[in-house]
Chains A and B, each alone.
Chain A
Amino acid sequence: MTPASQASSHRRIVAVSPDDGSAINLKQPELAAFLAWLIPGLGHLYQGRTKKGAMYMSVILTLFVAGLWLGDGRVVYASWRPTDTRWWFVCHAGIGVAAVPAVVQSVSMTGTNHEPFWIAGWMTPPLLEGQLVSREFAERLVNKDPYIFELDFWDRPPYKQFRADQVSMWHHKLGRFFELGTLYTVLAGMLNMLVIYDAWAGPMHPLVKQEKSSTSSDEENNQDDDTQSDGTTDTGSVSR
């Protein structure tokens, strides 16, 4: 192994703490960012920033679960149908693996089975007018959902065809809590974007105005010093 390759293999990516100026080992920032997306705070735990990671994890997952609870598990779903495009799911996706069941449920509903993967219906997109569903799922809805009756389905063997609008039912049942649950879960996903950035680049530094020196020669000297210090700039992250 050549000295150059040894140096690159031992390269350490660190950020500077804005509080005490100490170095924060970011390890592999890309991997940390991916882990932070997968589960909020996991990237920080991987980097050894355990307190911060645990705090992120508890805050964001609590917010997400609280939103799901307020919205009766209905507010997080993936739907890209022309009459029901759920743009909020773009923000929900920021929470990572917690939003994956919504994709699974959506794919399963639009597939050949015409029923959700988890038959209980958690994170399932709402049934729209004219949508085909399996008989088993239709029977379950009639038995479990007080808003849906047998007459809400046409018989289209081997399926059942829905003849109402489930989104309206959800809004009638949940009222303002549908919007509240959506807001909680959306905000959890968006806040996790900041957490991902923190895992990737370290804490953000406040903008510091450079003091203008009296002579231009001083400025030139400062610039020379900046370029010589380990090949870094004042972005807050340095590599050694």
Chain B
Amino acid sequence: MTLRVMAQLIQVQCHDDVFLWRLRMDSSIMIVFALFLENVPMLFFSLPLIAAASVVFSATHHESPPAIWRGTVEWMIWLVGILGTVLLAVFILSRLA
């Protein structure tokens, strides 16, 4: 909530100064960043899900423990990369639209 208020304050300040277009652009990025930070605690709860899914996905493709752990790391990188990119893209587009 605090971050949201800060973001709104920044937005109001920047809207007052209609001549500083560049500053407005900076502020919109800051708003997006602030709103993203506000959701970080909930994003934290997705990490155990990704870890568990990576372990199970890897274990269903391998049998020996070393291969399973190697596969887990690979799956985790893929899942974090894909889900993170999609989430970030959706988040930014929803805020800038």
Contact = CB atoms under 8 A, between A and B. Distances in A.
Interface string B44-61: 010011001101110111
A130 interface: no
Interface string A157-181: 0000000000000000000100010
Given A176-B42, A187-B53, A198 B59 contact: yes
Interface in A63-80: 63, 66, 70
Nearest to B56: A191
Given A66-B48, A176-B42, A180-B45, A203 B63 contact: yes
Contacts of B65: 51
B interface majority secondary structure? helix
Interface string A186-220: 01100100110110001111100000000000000
**Size band of the A side of the interface?**
20 to 34
B67 interface: yes
Contact of A60 (B56, B57, B63, B68): B56
Nearest to A63: B52
Interface string A37-57: 000000000000101100110
Contacts of A204: 60-61
Given A55-B55, A59-B55, A176-B42, A183 B60 contact: no
**Size band of the B side of the interface?**
10 to 19
A178 B62 CA distance: 34
Contacts of B45: 70, 180
A55 B42 contact: no
Contacts of A141: none
A22 B64 CA distance: 10
B60 A19 contact: no
Contacts of A55: 55, 59, 68
A24 interface: yes
B51 to A, nearest CB: 8
B63 A52 contact: yes
B56 A19 contact: no
A63 B60 contact: no
Given A55-B59, A194-B57, 12 more contacts: A24-B63, A51-B65, A52-B68, A56-B56, A60-B52, A180-B45, A184-B49, A187-B49, A194-B60, A203-B62, A203-B63, A206-B61
